[in-house]
Amino acid sequence: MSDGIIAQDWPSYTGVEHATWDTLFARQVSMLASRVAPQFMEGLDVLRMSKPGIPDFEELSERLQRATGWSVVAVPGLIPDAEFYDHLANRRFVAGRFIRTPEKLDYLQEPDVFHDVFGHVPLLVNPVFADYMQAYGEGGLRSIQYGSIHRLARLYWYTVEFGLIRDGGLLKLYGAGIVSSNSESLFALDSDSPNRLGFDLKRVMRTKYRIDDFQQNYFVIDSFEDLLRTTLETDFAPVYQELDLLPDIEISCILPSDRVIIHGTQEYADNKRTASDSWHTNENAQ
Ligand code: HBI
Ligand code: FE
């Protein structure tokens, strides 16, 4: 299997690219301190990620390997699921080497180095989360034979990318898609719009997601230990057979069986839908 790895070629980064990283980093670190799981800030510290400029993956990997045996490798962009899972199963996190342009600090088509390295890598310093990510990769490789990659993608989406976690009586961020986004780091905790529901593995594996806007349902884990234990204890084969007999769940839906932590208004999504409808209406009117 070709592994899709390329050289990061750290010396080729320009001053503008390093400055873009510094701008994004400073903005997020200043607003995340009270919002993000403490393990994330610990990871930033262990990896010395506050050093100016785009991190050199070799330097990063030396520190990360000492902590949990993970390393960071560069890839050109999204890679096939099977390759992706194989890297995770072998404690290699694949990261884009490119960075967004200064003109587009807030819009991202594909995961860039800020999303992948700032968003995903700090938590890999935490031994429990590091074990979860490897178990996830192994589970992903096994899911291929059951035609259930889409269910693993949903589990990834609602935990690794957009997960929330309890910290005492508070809700905190840990999903990379949230912590690497200034606007969603605010929305996910402060907005009245989205639902915040207790994490349930089978429920999440049935739940659709959207990739182009804020989430309308966020799922909350009690701890990384809980998430790891659930994943390790589950025999996935019968779960896939059970779920294949059940309908998917829509992105903003609340089930009677859900543990509702915050019942959202869905105002944000409703306004967007109204706006898009009106746009279509105007378009027709022309
Ligand atoms: N490839 N480079 C890269 N980064 C990802 O996050 C990634 C991927 N390929 C597949 C993938 N993620 C998703 O299918 C995961 O849900 C498995
Ligand atoms: Fe990601």
23-68 pLDDT, tens digit each: 999 999 999 999 999 999 999 999 999 999 999 999 999 999 999 9
Residues, Cβ < 5 Å to ion ligand 2:
111, 176
User: Would you place residue 93 in the very low, low, confident or very high pLDDT band (cuts 50, 70, 90)?
Assistant: very high
Looking at residue 2, what is its pLDDT?
A: 63
CA 218 from centroid of its chain's CA atoms: 12
Residue 264 in contact with ligand 1 by CB distance below 6 A: no
Mean pLDDT over each residue of the chain, to the nearest integer: 94
Least confident range from 92-101, 108-117, 159-168, 246-255: namely 108-117
**Residue 279: pLDDT over 90:** no
**Percentage of residues in the chain having pLDDT higher than 90:** 88
pLDDT over 70 for what percent of the chain? 95
Confidence grade of residue 107 (pLDDT, cut at 50, 70, 90) = confident
Helix and strand element counts for the chain (H, E): 13, 7
Q: Over 90: is that where the pLDDT of 135 sits?
A: yes
- For residue 80, give the ligand 1 atom closest to its CA: 9
Shortest-distance atom of ligand 1 to CA 140: 17
pLDDT at 281: 47
Each as own residue / partner, the long-range contacts of residues 7-15 (CB below 8 Å, 24 or more positions apart, any chain) are: 7/74, 8/56, 8/57, 8/58, 8/74, 8/97, 9/97, 10/54, 10/56, 10/57, 10/58, 13/53, 13/54, 13/99
DSSP lists the bridge partners of residue 173 as 36, 164
Amino acid at 194: P
Cβ atoms of 42 and 125 within 8 Å: the answer is: yes
Over residues 145-156, the pLDDT tens digits come to: 999 999 999 999
Residue of 1, 78, 97 with the most ligand 1 atoms within 8 Å of its CB, for mutation:
78
CA distance 108 to 209: 17
Is residue 185 within 8 A of residue 29, CB to CB? The reply is no
Would the CB of 111 count as within 6 Å of ligand 1? Answer: yes
